[in-house]
Amino acid sequence: MNRLSRPVGLYRLVARAEAVTWALLLTGMFLKYVTETTELGVQVFGMVHGVVFIAYGLTTVLLAIDQRWSIGRLALGLLCAVPPFATVPFESYAERAGLLGDTWRLRSEAPAGPLEKAAAWLIRRPAQGALVGLLAVAGLTGVALVVGPPV
């Protein structure tokens, strides 16, 4: 089984990618504000970080629905994307606490309610689910670009 087809593998990848993009963005900020050599790092890595930030958020919501996380755990998982590198310790905590699961619950279990039905559709059709995920990330990135950068 592909490690990305398991909740724990997908979440680990996205949580670590979010931390790496934080490092790249902070490097870009150092070059822009401390050495005053270039703004290119912030422009490029800011966009990359924004895209991965959105992907992490969507992945966290999908896992929370599938693995039946409490609202508090979902909120904590989402908030961990804000401080640099916090997604990595949260992912480690979630794995130790058994929150990630080795299999997708909704792949075989009947969904209850509209959120679980939507999540089950995405999980049971991996190719279409990945496409919907990519389109969601692209669409939310577009909205973020229209709204503008954080202050």
Q: CA 35 to CA 28: how far, in whole Å?
A: 10
Return the structure tokens found at 114.
């509209």
pLDDT at residue 149, rounded to an integer: 74
Return the structure tokens found at 88.
């990595």
pLDDT at residue 4, rounded to an integer: 73
Task: Tally Cβ neighbours within 10 Å of residue 114.
Answer: 8
pLDDT at residue 148, rounded to an integer: 85
Single-letter residue type at 107: R
Closest CA to 85 of 12, 8, 15, 14: 15
Provide the residue-wise pLDDT of the chain in tens; the chain has 151 residues. Answer: 577 789 999 999 999 999 999 999 999 999 999 999 999 999 999 999 999 999 999 999 999 999 999 999 999 999 999 999 999 999 999 999 999 999 999 999 999 999 999 999 999 999 999 999 999 999 999 999 999 876 6
Return the structure tokens found at 136.
């969601």
Given a contact cutoff of 8 angstroms between Cβ atoms, the answer to whether 24 and 46 are in contact is: no
pLDDT at residue 38, rounded to an integer: 94
pLDDT at residue 1, rounded to an integer: 59
Given a contact cutoff of 8 angstroms between Cβ atoms, the answer to whether 53 and 24 are in contact is: no
Cα-Cα end-to-end distance for the chain:
43
